[in-house]
Amino acid sequence: MVLGKFLQCLMLLTGYTLVFGDPQACTYTESTNSYECNAHNWALPLQLAQFNYTPQVLSLVQVNGELPSSAPSGPTFDGFDGIDNSTFDPNYVPSLHIRCAATGQLILTSGSFANMSHVQELRFFDCAVLNLPDAVFSELIELNYLSFDGGSVSNIGFDVFSGVNIYPMAVPNPLGALAFRNAQITSSGLPNGALYNLVNFTKLIIQNSALRVLQPDMFKKSTKLTHILLDSNPFTKITDGLFSDLQALTVVSMRDISWDCTCPQMWFEDYLTANNISLLGDIVCNSPTDYQNKRAKQYDLDTCPQPDACGDLPGIVVGSFCLTYWDIVAYSLHPFAVIMAAVALGLSIYTRRQLDFVKEDRQGTRPQFGLRQASGSGWKGVVSEKPGAKSKPRAGPKDSSNGRDDVKSTKNSEKQSDMGDSVKETNNNDDVTKINNDTSDVIHKADVQL
């Protein structure tokens, strides 16, 4: 890019017209900072020195055949190991896109991507990839995204991903993804252990790609996976424990799968729910016949033994909840506890009042209550005089004659007592005093007559 701009400036300053061009069959699009090279007309190898601008995004189209790694026709890419990354536009990911011709085939070797370590995104479109040998992507070193869109993929090596690290890179759209979309995997699945080398990738996408087999330990080393998308594939069951090593997993998508519903095969619904993993897509039975096109959850509820909500705890299952014996005892004691609390509150109030009465008695501030007999009724409490007060006897007339005073006093006392018994008490203290005074006057008159 720097060389091209220098030559353009030189032309303007000198007035000379210099004729120079990109590699044969390669055209540049400035808006996307990309080159497109047509395999029908190119001459390999593609040499970096021939490009007027730095090919940050390089698309090879109409490909049908081999991407050679050595002479006589190769290598496919020459001199790209010296590319200047500092000239890249940060808005675009350094990429290599390979689009095959209609019904075009693609043959790759272990050196097909030599000198292309600057590439961070590799995509194949509509290619019948005849082979993916071991370590075929090792020269790329690091990738943010590797995908196969359309076409087919055959002869996948056990160590196909050896030497390449797929992870979410610091690019405009961090993905860390391996994807097969509408690309038929002719072997019905990835080789056992093929993903063991991808310990850092976070997304696996295999959609509508004729995936029939998922090995039970295929994710054993890929513990950083957060998304697994397996939509529209012909597999009908997955092995118990398939996701058990994936502690970072948050989303599983399995839309449009024709499930063979059996009790052992429906394990994953409860597992994903228990581990807070979102399951996208309805799980619909294809068999047995009675449940065809019905939700697998209905089959599970109707046919399979339901887990005991109490587990190992002693208790009673109520719906989907466990009521343990400890819960039952606690609920039973609750009303008793309320009653006891009310009783304790009442006793506390009563005791407090009694203590207040005792305190008032000691201080002499509480009124004293006695008994009186009301006319036509039983005994009733009346307020007495102040405690400790003594009533003074009423003084009568003095008589000094020969000891008759004592006799008269005795008689007077008897008469007073007899007459006092005939006097009716009233609730009015003034009336009682008046009656006593009248009685004293009668007694006095009797004494005079004697």
How confident is the prediction for the chain on average, in pLDDT? 81
Q: Give CA separation, 202 vs 22, 143, 232, 253, 263, in Å.
A: 38, 12, 21, 14, 31
Predicted local distance difference test score (pLDDT) of residue 34: 94
Predicted local distance difference test score (pLDDT) of residue 307: 65
Predicted local distance difference test score (pLDDT) of residue 14: 38
What is the DSSP secondary structure assignment for residue 108, as one 8-state letter?
Answer: -
CB 219 within 8 A of CB 245: yes
Predicted local distance difference test score (pLDDT) of residue 449: 44
Cis status, amide bond into 216, omega within 30 of 0:
no
3-state secondary structure 61-105: EEECEECCCCCCCCCCEECHHHCCHHHCCCCCCCEEEEEECCCCE
pTM for the model? 0.67
Q: Give CA separation, 236 vs 177, 193, 272, 286, 301, in Å.
A: 25, 21, 18, 9, 20
Task: Give mean pLDDT, residues 193-200.
Answer: 96
Please, what sign has the CA dihedral across residues 105, 151, 178, 31? Answer: positive
Could you write out the DSSP letters of every residue in 162-173? TT-EE---SSSS
Predicted local distance difference test score (pLDDT) of residue 381: 47
d(CA 115, CA 92): 20
Could you write out the DSSP letters of every residue in 217-275? TTTSS-TT--EEE--S-------TTTTTT-TT--EEE--S-EEE--TGGGHHHHHHHHT
Summarised one tens digit per residue, pLDDT across range 367-390 is 655 545 444 444 444 444 444 444
- Residue 363's pLDDT band (cuts 50, 70, 90): confident
Predicted local distance difference test score (pLDDT) of residue 105: 96
CB 298 within 8 A of CB 283: no
Task: Give mean pLDDT, residues 50-61.
Answer: 95
Q: Give CA separation, 263 vs 216, 221, 291, 310, in Å.
A: 18, 28, 13, 21
Summarised one tens digit per residue, pLDDT across range 285-311 is 999 999 999 999 999 989 988 766 566
What is the C-alpha radius of gyration for the chain, rounded to an integer number of angstroms?
Answer: 55
Structure tokens at 341: 């609390």
H/E segment holding residue 279 = strand 278-280
pLDDT above 90: percentage of residues in the chain: 58
What count of other Cβ atoms lies within 10 Å of the Cβ of residue 221? 14
What is the DSSP secondary structure assignment for residue 111, as one 8-state letter?
Answer: T
CB 157 within 8 A of CB 190: no
Residue 330 carries which side chain, given as an amino acid letter?
A
Residue 234 carries which side chain, given as an amino acid letter?
P
H/E segment holding residue 384 = none
d(CA 26, CA 76): 14
Summarised one tens digit per residue, pLDDT across range 217-234 is 999 999 999 999 999 999
Domains of the chain: 2-318 (3.80.10.10)
Summarised one tens digit per residue, pLDDT across range 91-107 is 999 999 999 999 999 99
H/E segment holding residue 57 = strand 57-63
Residue 185 carries which side chain, given as an amino acid letter?
I
Predicted local distance difference test score (pLDDT) of residue 258: 94
d(CA 284, CA 73): 53
Summarised one tens digit per residue, pLDDT across range 392-407 is 444 444 444 444 444 4
